[in-house]
Structure 1
Amino acid sequence: MTRSLSTVVHVLSLALALSPASAQLANTFQYVGLSGASAQQMFLGRPDRVYIVDKTERNNITVDGHPGWATEYDLQTNTFRPMAVLSNSFCAGGTVLGNGTWLNVGGNQAIEMGGVSPPGISQTGQNPYGDWDGGKALRLLDPCDDETCEWLDDPALYLTSRRWYPTLETLEDGTAIIFGGCEWGGYVNFANNNQNNPTVEFWPSRGEPFTLDFLIKTLPVNLFPLVWLLPSGNIFIQAEFQAMILDYKNMIEYDIADIPDAVRVYPASAGTAVFPLTPENNWTSTIIFCGGTDLEADQWNPVWAITKYPASTSCVTISPDVDLTWYQDDPLDAGRSMGNFINLPDGRLLLLNGAGNGTAGYGNNSWAVGQSYADEPRLQAWYYDPAQPSGSRWSKAGLTTIPRMYHSSCTLLADGSVIVSGSNPNADYISPGTPGYTFVTQYQVEIFYPDYWDKQRPAPGNMPSNFTYGGEYINVTLTMEDLNNDALNINKTKAVIIRTGFSTHTMNMGQRHVELETSFTSNTDGSATLHVAQLPPNPAILVPGPALFFVVVDGVPSNSSWIMVGNGQLGDQPIGEASVLPQSTISAQLVAQYGKRDELDMEQRGFWHWGKRGSLLWDF
């Protein structure tokens, strides 16, 4: 394999990245490097490696003598390495399996310059871009710590049906379930074009795909259906204005009430995420949807000025395992489509990217902005805090200068920051300054540093590398410095696992935030041991596979430990008894030194909350 790099996109020194020692970074976006390929799809494959997959297009990098559309981005040096992908991965879906292998599924037929696939073009690589038909493609990657890993894109492994815009979710046994898509693409999945793929299948295969009636009833807006595995083991699905619960083990569909206010699924592209699953809420999944558009089923034919149509401000939530009611939540400050929610370790969500008018998509329509079906980029990021009372859940985060429109992506990193890249609402690479194009192809990589970044960060000892479903608890050690020199902060310390997901098209497929049960033992010098339970004995709460483990002290996260959830293999996971934690203890000396013994002071510091849970012993 031969490779060459354009000096325009490759020469980048580490000096471009600011460090915490050289600047105040909290609540800022910092440009750190170039991605090589536009980040239509992105995921964190190792603690210091982000993998980027684009559609086939005229990127500056080359692989085997033709433009390339995948890279490995090194977070330590802020440089990229081109990677070979055989097939056109335009609008593929993805997830990570329980053994750590990443799966990238589907795409478009082979194209040539300008994003077109004219009659007679080779679908097996003999064309200007060297790309193969990706409609049935199944690509596999095992990330590595050096520069030896490559995508396996082997037609012998391909699916039996075409899937453009499919959604993937990992299941309790670490395998994947694949939903829907279409055969040949388009703005939406019109019923009269006979290209809908309303089927579901598994990887590894469990036999022929089965038809899901829901993916027929939700035409035309059912591409990239919004999908979450619930702690019950059922799957919640939303598309168009409809929603349902799927018992995938018995192939039973249960329709529920329509979602209020707006279409949330692609190309309306609302921001969606699951709130943290915690001991306090009994690891219940509550899903939030913010933004999108209120277009009706007969309004999706792009013959009118979509770029002038304002996006929705509506936010709604649902907790499908316990309550099938839709609830209104605090609205956005302004309408937004293509907004992306990221779970932060402190329990908040970060909302970034997107547009105020229009939807995802592009075309040569007279009303398009260049080719973009959206306008008015949203540059202001926001925090959403589900723990705050109604009316006060939103607060401003940072402000970027780079429009992140269609085909943008982002993901949480191992240090608690967020990487952001991509944006190309065009059929092919468009360079800056091209006449008639407001929104060009973006290679710029930014890091967003949340507001906890400049605070003293804990550095716990004995951080784990594996979590099981039930079993013996883990002891994590914290010094007084880790507790920000306040021994009572041990009572404000949480243990959190985050599965960062596969980011594309306003989704992070498989993203989850799970808080573990903890107790503590404080030492007389103010240091402490945090006793951390294993995961509850239910893999549907958090499926097996790689994830990040954070210790969060009074809202400030540590750098994470890279962990494997489960046994690292596909198949039914070993299930043990739920961890039994020792009761929390703290000495009278520490209470006297760092806080009064009266109930008011204990309530202010959070101690009385623990007392109500019956988990704190007063050692007087």
Structure 2
Amino acid sequence: MESPTGRSSLLLLLFIVLSMTLHTPARAGLPGTWELLVANAGIASMHTAVTHRDTVVLIDRTNIGPSRRRLPNGHCRRDPHDQSLKIDCFAHSVELHLPTNQIRPLTLLSDTWCSSGQFLPDGTLLHTGGAFDGNRNFRKFTPCHPDQLCDWDELPEPRLAAGRWYATDQILPDGSVAIVGGEHANSIEFYPPRPGGAAQLPFLAAAADEQMDNLYPYVHLLPNNRLFIFANDKAVMYDYTSNSIVREYPPLDGGPRNYPSAGSSAMLALEGDYSTAEIVVCGGAQYGAFLERTTDTPAHGSCGRIIATDPDPVWELEAMPFARIMGDMVMLPTGEVLIINGAQAGTQGFDLATNPCLNPVLYRPGQPVGLRFMVLNPGTVPRMYHSTANLVPDGRVVVAGSNPHYLYEFQGTEFPTELRVEAFWPEYLAGDRGNLRPVIEEAPEVVRYGEGFEVVVSVELPVVAVVEVNFGSAPFSTHSFSQGQRLVKLGVVPAVVGPGGRWRIRCRAPPTAVVAPPGYYMAFAVNQGVPSVAKWVQLVL
């Protein structure tokens, strides 16, 4: 009997095949195509995460007034302190089912405005902090099969030691979660809570300027079990076990990069012996744009790249094709990085940005400086403040949100609240690449660290190179940064042909949880730059 997971994967693959002729073709000869998934999700997604059940959880604020999607009868939220609705019967979170594009409303009980999140090892989404009554709250969402009705679980206990508004979460090798920073919270704490509560991080306070610029710090778990923390234009290597700064990195030229001067950041794919980690930070706003409320101040057009594990690290600067704030950096299954969404002038904040950047660009880390960026096919929907981008198992990137206003505004404004959900199809999904696209026919559902295992694939054309198997995490996307984003290229040996012309790829799981923390990963087979539909694989301790 076929498992529910198998049925879901089959439905997803069928959907991809049917959709190949239904999405908007590339314009002006530029790579990539766009597809409308949902005309009205009901909410503008400020936070987005993809679950191992092939669903996407979209989250907005709860104090924003009525959304365009009602909750089921009897699920109203009652809050006498809410400034918009004392009795709120509207959804502020929804679930998108990828194989069918159906939307289901979810119930939130406390305010999730500018919150943070991370998946736990069992696939549960941990959601932390927010504003007002949600400032010190933990919430959980346990994904379920489509015929079930899972929903948000607001935890009465424990509580965050400090209020966390604009914080960043990062899963750690033991499966716990580090919660870093936030407005008026220059500290770090953990879930599950550790003795002593929050530990102070003076670095975050030192990185603050008059307009803050230390919020939503960029946090990456390095393969040496230290945290790379970037705020404003500064970065440190932090030992979370001893609460100590191990290294201070040189400042990154070009001005502030974090909220509200938001650029974005990604850690490049880990590979080889996994001892080297490179960090990229791109874009940002000019200092003073937020304070002066100027909307036409040009954004930064530079990217900085640093080998964070090098004994004498320095930043390498390069120019993007477009200046950009509020861009999202999405790790693709190939190891390339898609930079999408955002604007070319202004800053983050309500109604503080103009000149939307409609062209995505592809960052190709293996190319030399000057040749790393490729301009892609522009979209037609401005994705400004409070928009998101997430990789999904079929290799597309789901784009949602954009609400640069305090409340929902659909008319009489240049950039209205955006309820449409789109998908961007990278060039590797183009029709002329179809005969290169591998299909994973067999893969384990669970693997342990250092374990050898096999992935069986079929490919229309003969395999002429080593087929990669890459593990991609499912991050929590918000405010131009994907918290917990990670791509790990596994050690593989050349594929050998098996019965029926199928190819058997022998793989080696990541050696330790420092390289890849425990949890669910999208396992992609990549043939000559073309990824398969991923299988969800749980990496366990």
1:440 pairs with 2:429: no
Q: Contact 1:18 / 1:30 at 8 angstroms: preserved in 2? A: no
User: In percent, how many aligned pairs have the same letter?
Assistant: 31
Residue-by-residue CA offset, 1:367-395 (whole Å, 9 max, x unaligned): xxxxx111000000111111112211111
Aligned to 1:118: none
Normalised to the residue count of structure 1, the TM-score between the two structures is 0.76
Aligned to 2:444: 464
Q: How far has the Cα of 1:157 moved from its partner?
A: 3.2
Aligned to 2:534: 560
1:515 pairs with 2:515: no
2:469 corresponds, among 485, 495, 499, to 495
Residue-by-residue CA offset, 1:526-557 (whole Å, 9 max, x unaligned): 65321111212x21111111110000011111
1:141 pairs with 2:141: yes
Q: Contact 1:172 / 1:543 at 8 angstroms: preserved in 2? A: yes
Aligned to 1:73: 96
Q: How far has the Cα of 1:324 moved from its partner?
A: 4.5
Q: Quote the RMSD (CA, aligned, Å).
A: 2.1
Alpha carbons of 1:373 and 1:534: their partners in 2 closer, same or farther (altered >3 Å)? Answer: same
1:571-610, aligned counterparts within 5 Å?
Answer: 573=541
1:450 corresponds, among 426, 434, 441, to 426
Looking at structure 2, the residues matched to 300 and 200 of structure 1 have their Cα atoms a distance apart, in angstroms, of: 29
Looking at structure 2, the residues matched to 466 and 528 of structure 1 have their Cα atoms a distance apart, in angstroms, of: 20
Looking at structure 2, the residues matched to 178 and 305 of structure 1 have their Cα atoms a distance apart, in angstroms, of: 30
Alpha carbons of 1:301 and 1:414: their partners in 2 closer, same or farther (altered >3 Å)? Answer: closer
Q: How far has the Cα of 1:150 moved from its partner?
A: 0.8
Aligned to 1:505: 479
SS of alignment partner, residue 531 of structure 1: strand
1:306-325, aligned counterparts within 5 Å?
Answer: 306-325=294-313
Q: Which amino acid is 2:255 matched to? A: A
Q: How far has the Cα of 1:294 moved from its partner?
A: 3.7
Q: How far has the Cα of 1:161 moved from its partner?
A: 2.1
1:199 pairs with 2:174: no
Q: Contact 1:260 / 1:326 at 8 angstroms: preserved in 2? A: no
Looking at structure 2, the residues matched to 300 and 379 of structure 1 have their Cα atoms a distance apart, in angstroms, of: 21
Q: How far has the Cα of 1:466 moved from its partner?
A: 1.9
Q: Which amino acid is 1:463 matched to? A: A
Alpha carbons of 1:316 and 1:522: their partners in 2 closer, same or farther (altered >3 Å)? Answer: same
Residue-by-residue CA offset, 1:55-96 (whole Å, 9 max, x unaligned): 121312223342221001111221211100000100001111
1:27 pairs with 2:32: yes
SS of alignment partner, residue 318 of structure 2: coil
Residue-by-residue CA offset, 1:24-53 (whole Å, 9 max, x unaligned): 757111112132211100000134200011
Aligned to 1:48: 54
Looking at structure 1, the residues matched to 365 and 102 of structure 2 have their Cα atoms a distance apart, in angstroms, of: 36
Looking at structure 1, the residues matched to 296 and 423 of structure 2 have their Cα atoms a distance apart, in angstroms, of: 31
Q: How far has the Cα of 1:305 moved from its partner?
A: 4.3
Aligned to 2:6: none
Q: Which amino acid is 1:52 matched to? A: L
Alpha carbons of 1:521 and 1:498: their partners in 2 closer, same or farther (altered >3 Å)? Answer: closer
Alpha carbons of 1:460 and 1:203: their partners in 2 closer, same or farther (altered >3 Å)? Answer: same
Looking at structure 1, the residues matched to 49 and 332 of structure 2 have their Cα atoms a distance apart, in angstroms, of: 16
Q: How far has the Cα of 1:166 moved from its partner?
A: 0.8
Q: How far has the Cα of 1:277 moved from its partner?
A: 0.9
Q: Any gaps of 5 or more consecutive residues in structure 2? A: 1-13, 26-30, 77-88
SS of alignment partner, residue 204 of structure 2: helix
Normalised to the residue count of structure 2, the TM-score between the two structures is 0.87
Q: How far has the Cα of 1:18 moved from its partner?
A: 7.0
Q: How far has the Cα of 1:323 moved from its partner?
A: 4.2
Q: Contact 2:321 / 2:375 at 8 angstroms: preserved in 1? A: no
SS of alignment partner, residue 216 of structure 1: helix
Aligned to 2:252: 259
Residue-by-residue CA offset, 1:328-372 (whole Å, 9 max, x unaligned): 24311121000111111112111100000011111xxxxxxxxx1
Q: How far has the Cα of 1:326 moved from its partner?
A: 2.9
Aligned to 2:69: 61
Residue-by-residue CA offset, 1:245-298 (whole Å, 9 max, x unaligned): 11111111132221221211111111211111111x645211101111241xxx
Q: Contact 2:275 / 2:309 at 8 angstroms: preserved in 1? A: no
SS of alignment partner, residue 295 of structure 2: helix
Alpha carbons of 1:141 and 1:546: their partners in 2 closer, same or farther (altered >3 Å)? Answer: same
1:211 pairs with 2:200: yes
Q: Any gaps of 5 or more consecutive residues in structure 1? A: 1-13, 110-132, 183-195, 363-371, 567-572, 574-620
Alpha carbons of 1:232 and 1:46: their partners in 2 closer, same or farther (altered >3 Å)? Answer: same
Q: Which amino acid is 1:59 matched to? A: S
Q: How far has the Cα of 1:308 moved from its partner?
A: 1.4
Aligned to 1:170: 171
Q: Contact 2:469 / 2:490 at 8 angstroms: preserved in 1? A: yes
Residue-by-residue CA offset, 1:178-224 (whole Å, 9 max, x unaligned): 11112xxxxxxxxxxxxx11121110000211111112111222111
Q: How far has the Cα of 1:517 moved from its partner?
A: 0.5
Q: Of the two, which has the highest radius of gyration?
A: 1
Q: Which amino acid is 2:33 matched to? A: T
Aligned to 1:87: 110
Residue-by-residue CA offset, 1:416-438 (whole Å, 9 max, x unaligned): 1110010001111112xx22x21
Aligned to 1:97: 120
Task: Report the number of matched residues.
Answer: 494
Looking at structure 1, the residues matched to 98 and 504 of structure 2 have their Cα atoms a distance apart, in angstroms, of: 31
SS of alignment partner, residue 145 of structure 1: coil
Looking at structure 1, the residues matched to 293 and 422 of structure 2 have their Cα atoms a distance apart, in angstroms, of: 31
Q: Contact 1:474 / 1:531 at 8 angstroms: preserved in 2? A: yes
